[in-house]
Structure 1
């Protein structure tokens, strides 16, 4: 249905005794007038209905599925639906709203489009490893184009939770440990989803999540409590959310955790004082899945009480739980909430629908022919393959074992070698798992007859069958071999003995990370380690292709395996992209967005930790009465920003344009980088600063800039960074955003550890 037909429907409203609504105007004043007129016609029940988000049950991300959806749409008791897809289904639901409800208010349709829609890109942690903001924005743009073509207009992304605890499964869904990197990625993704015109039929409204501090859940256990100082919040955890808001994100989703005693969904300080009053956010806030109802388990009262508290805190839309729908009218009658509270929330939902152009044409996203030509388009798949290759991080490459030669016999062994369904990674709810090439299939597609590829599963994913079932949910099954382990190992070794080189595809399955997938042991499962040890005993060269959604403890592997390529979960084209990198068609350029610890006991471990009064001397392992461990050094196994290449890069000495930075000036930092190897490749040049002395304790260093550059063999390039006073600001003891005059260290290098330093002074 086009805008003209929708106008005819509105004309019919006049005949029914209801005023027609004019929807063509674009300015804020016109939108206000339109919504004022609409709300004057709405009953309290219809206003509350706009605050109700339900699931149609097609794709569920929680344990509750909504009931009676069709009847509620007709009664004006639903504002939006999520997990419904395809233009045909969405058109049918939208027709119920605009043809059979009293006021013909269209629905909004959302889905967890996290790292792709049908064309799946690397998991967000892998996307962050590209350190390529333009490329990341492009993946969000393609995701929006595909999802919008399939009827959707709202995505529950980007997830911008800073996480420094690799035990937490949802670290895979974010951009890692760093405030600055996560903030820049948040901006890029919002721009990619929303484009330049939110009312265009190929954009999605972004939803920033999870507000706030979800990535700091205690013990790395999902949904657990979070407790931190205001200084840490404002300096380290809140900036990515604000960056997404400043980039124009249209909606925000609450987090499950409590924050200093008050769960986010009922936290007025967070949702109103910070988000709206301090940051000036004008969009709408939706809860996470049944988060209002879960306030009862937090101990805040019965459903009526927690629903009222959530509304008063600043929540606008209740996801699935229907606490608003079932209790707010009663609370209004009893004086627990006001009509002003309900009107405020209702207006925000209607504004979002107006901005999306749904009042102009509620079926703008329902073109079935567009879906057919857009989903999994060849250009999208080509981009997915490119991005996946750029996300892989080369952790080790002794004696230049990689890239492999396109000849001879390669043994591909491991439980992740031939499982296409696991390649998209966690939170790929709309992926086509039936047509995703496995690593084995990707290698055969690339190599054809050039290389003889022999394959064996080698081991089960996990020794415990029940654990494996939990780790392969949602159609990500990996077959089990229930014969004695020794028998399976013997076959795998016999296969490996026939090869010139062994590629071991090991690590996590896709559902070993993600929501509700926390782990206390973050190493490669023991049964896979035993397989790897037997493969190494053959004396053949071994390449570990590591699948993971989180930093893993790889001390033994690093000590014994000559080459390790971390491929995360690269999306639809993972199998082909891994083959590209293994055999040298693509030179890996990924850098770690999260620190890999030596041992889980070091977690949380991150590069930008605070200075302490008893620091361990540089280069020391243990010193009594210093901040360290008895049994392991403080060092990570692989530091933040780390990643090798098939070529090598040499850094010249850094130089500064001046030795002081006035408060209104610019300081330039220069470094010459040269490709000293035999392959063309990309390098991520990273800039860090350190405040030598501050009014409160400061991090040892903070990322403040990076550039990804391509260099041919022998080529040099001068990289220039600009620093201003804005780069030096932090929230002080009074939560004032200040830059304090004094001395600063600036460091440039290939990762957070391997840097060279200069100094400058910030003047008044």
Structure 2
């Protein structure tokens, strides 16, 4: 989490230097449906991990003191459950039980509030039949009442005016609902400006309610020092001074470090990676030389021209004319979609592009295909029903496979993709996401072994879209999966297991885990026990491993998930080195919101798992009495 906090600090420092005092981040929505485009913006599917990331980002942005000239105000969003949109379609309805809300979707928001987030943004979706922006239970009873939030609430873009489309009232009514629910600031719609005076005169909105909203906003401005210095020192700085605070060498080094540590090695058969520069290597694909899409969705005023493409990084690292190159295909060939996304296009036919790529591949020892999504294929209003590689990307891979050369797939994308054919047929797959301004340097370092990948998946990768939503911490059924029994919870045409589980990720090292050891088979209701494993590096490279702790509550007053992440530690091991990794299991780790929505631990039997991913079955049992 320290790296995430440092990236938030750097973002805050650069934003503050440019006169900004507020950011619409962190986005902490739990996302379990990769059809939803905004998976790219959050921390994934797990509430514990989401909470840890939320805390780190709020701490990094606000730095404990908003008077710090390098701090900016955090805004946790989108409150709440925005990531659970039905069918994965953006802005769609969210409908779930309070049990699921409290135990699975609300924890990251609560963690951000506990970390001191100064503002909260409402979500577009409805909750229990009322849009979040006008939902008094959500904003007043829960956020302010139960959680003690003292900052201000801002609506999402035009969210108040959109309440009329939800069908809960006209312009006057939705303004009344929003202000009385606790939405302090109206973003864009101007309904407060137009309607609040008459609503106060009619008695439907109390003047004290408006005063309270104004006070919360003014308090934030005061804490930021905006009354004494509205431009936060910007007037006193020259253009040269400002430019010198942007994209400093330290910031660029941090960007590269974050990119490297975010990458996930999904497959590496025959140790085709890392590559040797002595081999003849062909780089193929529309993203090899791409800069624009490296910065991802919602990069706003970020200058993509300052991003380093993989090709530019390779030339810087090894010199010009070292490697072979072919475009291979366009990202998409569908004209309406291409126009919507404003994508560049090569006028040659798909067959001509693939033929050229095959000819180039035949001259190489190894082929690296760089494929995936443009920045517009993930993000807001970018829901997809087909989560495979679009256009002729899959056809390109099949043609490259037929050459008989080893094929490495480098992915640039914002969501989990359906990669069953790719996993079954290609030699290596490296997930790099939208890796930012230093993406090219980071990818080159990983491909050629100057960096050892250690990232783990924060979201499950399904076999296909038919498995969606799929997530590791699901509930059991009365008929759990049994391979040889028809009348159990399973599919006729596909396995229950995902392609890649939550927490999965390979490296150039290999790690072996001992059995889980417990300090005691029993734990008091107010006590703790220690769980430990010994992890050994059995590979030939020094590498980092994320050791993950999961717990299962075998019997509860309400049904419990089959497994829940409760801790993780990252260790560095040299070849042949072993380390003992210890976790302290506390009652708080075992607690959950019961049928009365009270957070408490219950006595009973538990399993504790420690391993390399959520798929681990390396466990020990204990009883809490």
**By how many angstroms is 1:361 displaced?**
2.3
2:284 aligns with 413
1:199 aligns with 67
1:80 aligns with none
Q: Take 1:164 and 1:487, find their aligned partners in 2: how far apart are those partners?
A: 39
Counterpart check, 1:383 vs 2:254: yes
Counterpart check, 1:685 vs 2:547: yes
2:316 aligns with 445
Q: Take 2:89 and 2:135, find their aligned partners in 1: how far apart are those partners?
A: 21
Q: Take 1:436 and 1:670, find their aligned partners in 2: how far apart are those partners?
A: 42
Q: Deviations over 1:143-197 (max 9, x none)?
A: 0000000000101100010010000000111000001000000000000000021
Match of 1:750 among 589, 612, 618: 612
Counterpart check, 1:363 vs 2:231: yes
Matches within 5 A, 1:141-290: 141-290=9-158
Q: Deviations over 1:631-659 (max 9, x none)?
A: 00100000000000001001111101111
Counterpart check, 1:654 vs 2:516: yes
Q: Which SS does the other structure have where 2:323 is aligned?
A: strand
Native 8 Å contact 2:334 2:391 kept in 1: no
**By how many angstroms is 1:485 displaced?**
1.8
Q: Take 2:495 and 2:237, find their aligned partners in 1: how far apart are those partners?
A: 59
Q: Deviations over 1:430-461 (max 9, x none)?
A: 21112212111112112226x72121111011
| RMSD of aligned Cα (Å) | 1.1
2:341 aligns with 471
Native 8 Å contact 1:152 1:365 kept in 2: no
TM-score by length of 2: 0.98
Native 8 Å contact 1:150 1:368 kept in 2: no
Counterpart check, 1:565 vs 2:430: yes
2:299 aligns with 428
Counterpart check, 1:552 vs 2:417: yes
List runs of 5+ in structure 2 lacking aligned partners: none
Native 8 Å contact 1:388 1:571 kept in 2: yes
1:69 aligns with none
Q: Deviations over 1:26-52 (max 9, x none)?
A: xxxxxxxxxxxxxxxxxxxxxxxxxxx
Q: Take 2:325 and 2:146, find their aligned partners in 1: how far apart are those partners?
A: 58
1:103 aligns with none
Q: Which SS does the other structure have where 1:686 is aligned?
A: strand
Native 8 Å contact 1:218 1:224 kept in 2: yes
Counterpart check, 1:501 vs 2:377: no
Counterpart check, 1:702 vs 2:564: yes
Native 8 Å contact 2:330 2:391 kept in 1: no
Native 8 Å contact 1:663 1:724 kept in 2: no
Native 8 Å contact 2:16 2:232 kept in 1: no
Q: Which SS does the other structure have where 2:392 is aligned?
A: helix
Q: Take 1:520 and 1:588, find their aligned partners in 2: how far apart are those partners?
A: 30
1:340 aligns with 208
**By how many angstroms is 1:602 displaced?**
0.5
Counterpart check, 1:328 vs 2:190: no
2:407 aligns with 542
Q: Take 1:169 and 1:361, find their aligned partners in 2: how far apart are those partners?
A: 39
Q: Is the radius of gyration larger for structure 1 or structure 2?
A: 1
**By how many angstroms is 1:405 displaced?**
0.3
1:579 aligns with 444
**By how many angstroms is 1:325 displaced?**
0.8
Q: Deviations over 1:460-510 (max 9, x none)?
A: 1112022123234xxxx4x21232221221111111112221110011111
Q: Take 2:558 and 2:279, find their aligned partners in 1: how far apart are those partners?
A: 61
**By how many angstroms is 1:738 displaced?**
1.2
1:294 aligns with 162
Counterpart check, 1:485 vs 2:350: yes
**By how many angstroms is 1:731 displaced?**
0.6
Q: Take 2:504 and 2:40, find their aligned partners in 1: how far apart are those partners?
A: 18
Q: After the TM superposition, which of the residue ranges 432-441 and 648-657 deviates more from structure 2?
A: 432-441
Q: Take 1:648 and 1:680, find their aligned partners in 2: how far apart are those partners?
A: 9
Native 8 Å contact 2:361 2:367 kept in 1: yes
Q: Take 1:546 and 1:485, find their aligned partners in 2: how far apart are those partners?
A: 20
Q: Take 2:499 and 2:477, find their aligned partners in 1: how far apart are those partners?
A: 21
**By how many angstroms is 1:249 displaced?**
0.4
Native 8 Å contact 2:331 2:391 kept in 1: no
2:494 aligns with 632
**By how many angstroms is 1:365 displaced?**
4.1
Q: Deviations over 1:72-99 (max 9, x none)?
A: xxxxxxxxxxxxxxxxxxxxxxxxxxxx
> How many residue pairs are counted as aligned between the two chains?
622
Native 8 Å contact 1:256 1:288 kept in 2: yes
